[in-house]
Every structure is written in C-alpha cells, then in structure tokens.
Amino acid sequence: MNNEILLRLPTEAEIAAFWQDGVVCLRQVLNPVFVLAMEPAVERLVNEPTGGTMYNMSAMGAEIAAGGEAILDGGRKGRGRFISGTDHWRVDSDCREFALSPEIGAIVAHLLRSKKVNMWEDSVLVKEPDTAERTAWHQDISYFHVAGDQVCTTWIPLDFADAETGVMSFVRGSHRWDAQYRPNWFVSNSPMEGTVGAVVPDIDSMASKNEVELLQFDLGPGDLTVHHARTLHAAGGNMSQTRRRRAISLRYCGDDAVYYFRPGAPRKPHHEFVAAGDSLDGPDCPVVWRE
C-alpha cells in the first residue's frame, strides 16, 4: 500500500460513530494530492459528449419540473448544471485506478469491520456554481442489487464543500430504521416506476419539527464522508456563484454482501449473469482489499 496516498486509517471512535450514526466524517485520511490528481478525469467526464457515462441531471430536473414536480433551491432554475454518472471505472483508466485503490479499500474495510472489500460502483457528481437542483432524500441500498449490512458509500470532494455549495446531509441513525425506501431519480422525490417499498418521508419537514437529526460536515480535499447504504441522505443545490462542487462517490461492499435483486431498480449488464445469493467476487465487483 502506498503511504503517500493513505494518511491514516479510521480510529476506533470513528468506526463506532459510523455504526452508531450511519455516517462518519474522516478528516485528512487521503493525501489531497492523490484526490486532486483526479481533476483531469472529472473534467473529461464533465465535457464528454452525450451517450457516455454522464447524465445531465439538470436537464432531467427540467423535464420533471415540466411534469409538475421539481426540487430547486431558491425555487428557480440556476445557470449551472448538476452532472453525474456511474461506472466510469469501466471506461476510464484513471477512474479505475482511483476506485480500485487498496488505500481507500483499507479505510472502508476498517469501517465495515470486513475482511474483504468489493467495489460496487463509482460515481462522479458535479454541481457547477449556481445549480439549483437539490439531490433528493434517498437511501443508496434501494439502487444496489445487494443484500447485506456491510455496504457503504464514500463521498470524496475535489473542492471545499459546505452548505452553500451543496455538501450532503444525513439523517442520523436512519440506517437502523426498519423501512426499505423506493429509489427516486435523484432530482425528484417521486419514486421510480415499478420499484417496491415505502416512499421516503418528508425529511425536511421532520427536521424542522426536530423529529429527526441531520448531520452535515464541511469538507475539503483529503476529507471524506462514509455513509451506510441504508442511511437517508440528500444534498442542496450549489448556491455559490463562483465555487464548484465536484465529488467522487465510491460504493463498496463487505463480507456479508451478496447479490439480491430489487424490482424496478436499474440493473447493470452483468446482472443478467448472476443470481440472488451469489458472491460479488469477480471482475464486475473487483475485490480492492483483502485481509
């Protein structure tokens, strides 16, 4: 393992916080130079022609708004864009090296208390200055065709991210709620057609009545948050007129995770060749760390 990449592993207190709260903020665990080396790859993805691995979520938000429902900060469309995608690691060698890095795998293994870590998916999420689209409250597990408790997402910023630029918020302890929530299209609260489970409750209203506690962490390059795949989370728009909010989310699974198919949730091509209960091990969910 390259010690110039990994500055430190999570402490016992941080591991306990992850399991207690469903999210933990790890400060200065990765060398910022390693994280910022992803800037050219993110730029390539942001500027890629349509038909690649990125989606213009703002355009999708506009379509949804035309249908009568949108979640825009400030109630008006901004001049920026929310652009995001998944599975860049399959087509971009820099993304592959980053997502499969054993150093991030080691951080995750310690948090999940797992003997091995499989990479499920990477995702680039950019909110340019003056992007009104919020990221709707959701639970990641609803999108993953996986069952298990050792499943998480790392959110790794390339910029200083705070409430103004749309850093994420998490519902403390929601990974221990019983409900399984339906996935949405990220820029809308409406559940995806054909999915099963409960509709995500109105977390903003619950928070305003102190019925839930929200956690939010200002982050910079080298810091990251790790949230449990059942933790409800969301992000604001980027209300800054000058600052970008670029982030890479990496999603990982531990020892107890196996394939488990959720009706209606988008599938990946290789899902045709695996069955519920199968181990994730293989080229489509590479093992990035093993004890």
Ligand X SMILES: O=C(O)CCC(=O)C(=O)O
Among residues 185, 249, 285, 289, which is the contact residue for ligand X, using CB under 6 A?
249
Contact 43, 158 (CB under 8 A): no
Q: How far is CA 21 from CA 24, 38, 144, 222, 231, in A?
A: 7, 29, 21, 22, 9
124 near ligand X (CB under 6 A) = no
Closest CA to 257 of 230, 276, 226, 280: 280
* Closest distance to ligand X from the beta carbon of 135 (Å): 4
Question: Quick one: which of 175, 233, 246, 262 contacts ligand X (CB under 6 A)?
Answer: 233
Would you count residue 252 as binding ligand X (CB under 6 A)? no
247 binds ligand X (CB under 6 A): yes
Window 80-119: contact mask with ligand X (x via CB under 6 A):
----------------------------------------
Among 86, 118, 131, 135, contact with ligand X (rule: CB under 6 A): 135
Under rule CB under 6 A, residue 155 binds ligand X: yes
Separation of alpha carbons 188 and 137, rounded Å:
9
Q: How many residues lie near ligand X (CB under 6 A)?
A: 11
Residue type, 157: P
Q: Judged by CB under 6 A, which of 139, 153, 169, 184 binds ligand X?
A: 153
Asked if 228 interacts with ligand X (CB under 6 A), we say no
Which of 103/140 has CB closer to ligand X?
140
To ligand X, the closest distance from the beta carbon of 220 in angstroms equals 15
Residue 235 as a binder of ligand X (CB under 6 A): the answer is yes
Judged by CB under 6 A, does residue 184 bind ligand X?
Answer: no
CA dihedral (160, 164, 168, 171) positive or negative: positive
Q: Measuring CA to CA, which residue among 176, 166, 1 is closest to residue 71?
A: 166
Q: How far is the CB of 155 from ligand X (least distance, A)?
A: 5
152 binds ligand X (CB under 6 A): no
Q: Does 238 bind ligand X (CB under 6 A)?
A: no
Q: Which is nearer to ligand X, 140 or 223 (CB)?
A: 140
SS (H, E, C) 236-288: CCECCCCCCEEEEEEEEECCCCEECCCCCCCCCHHHHHCCCCCECCCCCCCEE
Residue 240 is a binding residue for ligand X (CB under 6 A): no
**272 burial class (0-12, 13-18, 19+ CB within 10 angstroms)?**
exposed
> If you count them, how many residues does the chain have?
291
Q: At closest approach, how far in Å is the CB of 30 from ligand X? A: 16
Shortest distance (Å) from residue 272 CB to ligand X: 25
CB-CB contact of 213 with 171 (8 Å): yes
Q: How many CB atoms lie within 10 A of CB 163?
A: 12
Contact status: 142 vs ligand X (CB under 6 A):
no
Distance separating alpha carbons of residues 286 and 120, to the nearest angstrom = 8
Residues binding ligand X (CB under 6 A): 123, 125, 135, 140, 153, 155, 168, 233, 235, 247, 249
